[in-house]
Structure 1
Amino acid sequence: MWKKKISLALVLMMVVGLLAGCGGPKSDVPVFVMFPENSPFNKSEEMEASLKEKVGEQPTVEVFVSPMFNMDKLIVELAAGENGLFVVPKQQFDAFASQEGYISLDDTFKKADYPAGVYKDVLYGVPVTNTKWLKDLGYKGGEVMAFVPFRAKDKEKSKQVLKAIMEK
């Protein structure tokens, strides 16, 4: 009897999970943020409000901050292809750069200005740790990089949001 109840509960949880995921992000550029271990910084609402102020009405943005560092979650988010922009620890950015799953930012920024984001002579990411955006929010954690994933739905709008983040 208890096995049936557990099975039913699991099925119900899966259905609720599927329904909650229906529709996907409702913004032009969903931004997924995962800070380094030991850098708890969960100001999702403040980050989103601040970014919306920087970007303006278009493109629309949403910010999703992972409450903790989890490599499996990062891999799932990258594979899902729902996010237009990622902010991740430098170490993870470097690890994924060899797979070349990022969009080139050579047409958006100067490589010489951001050598930390260059891989095989292509600029794939920019360091955002010391940006006005994060500093104004009080971020004092480890080094983080922003990039546009290869599977971003609107790469140009994602680059536009990244430009706003990098403004001084």
Structure 2
Amino acid sequence: MRKWGFMGVLLTMLILVSGCGGPKADITVFMMPKSTVPTEMTQALKEELNKKFEGKFTVDAVASPMYNLQKLIVEYAAGDNGIVILPEDDVKTMAMQGGHVVLDNYFDKEKYAAGVMDGVVYEKAEKGYNEYKGTHLYALPAEQVPLLKKLGIQEPGLFVTIPSRTPNEDLSVQVLKALAEEQ
């Protein structure tokens, strides 16, 4: 009886270790539109971005199989994603909670006017954080992002943004610029 208990633990550990999937990408693009994004599209996006940044860093692209607000909150709290692609309402809600990197210094606010919205920015201060409310470019409309168009990732009202808890803001900006490059 004890022999099978040990074997069961060993088998469970083996399954867990083998399910890890290898090294984690440097930046992850996470999508949660209201509709489903086929695996072929996320795979194509991953391949395009990895080709672009080959030898520099790696990119993964994943999509939630269904829209779920609780999952979205967990994704923001975890801070694992460098880019998120979401419906407009979610982007606006998260902007008001300090959830996005301000893109004013990286992109033309006039060109991406639909992504200019009210939001909150938190800046580290001597004691805690200072909160600033204002209107900034927080997201790019997906319909204006050439690489997403090319791959057919187009749902009305989707926006592409960088979460404030991105693992690496510089790499996230590079990926967002690559998405926005004319094809």
Q: Residue 104 of structure 1 corresponds to which residue in structure 2?
A: 102
Higher relative CO (Cα under 8 Å, sequence separation at least 6) belongs to 1
Q: Give the CA RMSD over aligned residues.
A: 2.4
Q: Residue 50 of structure 1 corresponds to which residue in structure 2?
A: 48
**2:174 counterpart of 1:160:** yes
Name stretches of at least 5 consecutive residues in structure 2 with no aligned partner.
1-11, 119-133
With normalisation by structure 1, the TM-score equals 0.78
Structure 1's 93 and 128: CA in aligned 2 closer, same or farther, altered over 3 A? same
Q: Partners in 2 of 1:75 and 1:85 — Cα distance?
A: 15
Name stretches of at least 5 consecutive residues in structure 1 with no aligned partner.
1-11
Q: What is the aligned length?
A: 151
Structure 1's 101 and 116: CA in aligned 2 closer, same or farther, altered over 3 A? same
**8 Å contact 1:59–1:161 — kept in the other structure?**
no
Q: Residue 3 of structure 1 corresponds to which residue in structure 2?
A: none
Q: Residue 116 of structure 1 corresponds to which residue in structure 2?
A: 114
Structure 1 residue 56: deviation in Å? 4.0
Stretch of structure 1 that moved more, 103-112 or 120-129 = 120-129
Structure 1 residue 77: deviation in Å? 0.4
Stretch of structure 1 that moved more, 115-124 or 152-161 = 115-124
Q: Partners in 2 of 1:28 and 1:87 — Cα distance?
A: 18
Structure 1 residue 19: deviation in Å? 9.4
User: Residue deviations 1:17-45, cap 9 Å, x none?
Assistant: x996799x71221111111x2x2222221
Q: Residue 62 of structure 2 corresponds to which residue in structure 1?
A: 64
Structure 1 residue 86: deviation in Å? 0.7
Query: Highest CA radius of gyration, 1 or 2?
Result: 2
SS in structure 2 of the partner of residue 121 of structure 1: strand
Structure 1 residue 71: deviation in Å? 1.0
Structure 1 residue 73: deviation in Å? 0.8
Q: Partners in 1 of 2:153 and 2:59 — Cα distance?
A: 20
User: Residue deviations 1:95-133, cap 9 Å, x none?
Assistant: 211112211111110111112222322211111234221
Structure 1's 112 and 66: CA in aligned 2 closer, same or farther, altered over 3 A? same
Q: Residue 73 of structure 1 corresponds to which residue in structure 2?
A: 71
Q: Where do 4+ consecutive residues of structure 1 move more than 6 Å?
A: none
**8 Å contact 2:142–2:154 — kept in the other structure?**
no
SS in structure 1 of the partner of residue 61 of structure 2: strand
**Aligned-residue identity in percent:** 36
Stretch of structure 1 that moved more, 156-165 or 83-92 = 83-92
Q: Residue 24 of structure 2 corresponds to which residue in structure 1?
A: 26
Which of the pair is proportionally richer in strand?
Answer: 2
Structure 1's 144 and 82: CA in aligned 2 closer, same or farther, altered over 3 A? same
**8 Å contact 1:54–1:165 — kept in the other structure?**
no
**2:40 counterpart of 1:40:** no
Stretch of structure 1 that moved more, 145-154 or 131-140 = 131-140
User: Residue deviations 1:56-82, cap 9 Å, x none?
Assistant: 442321111111111111111010011
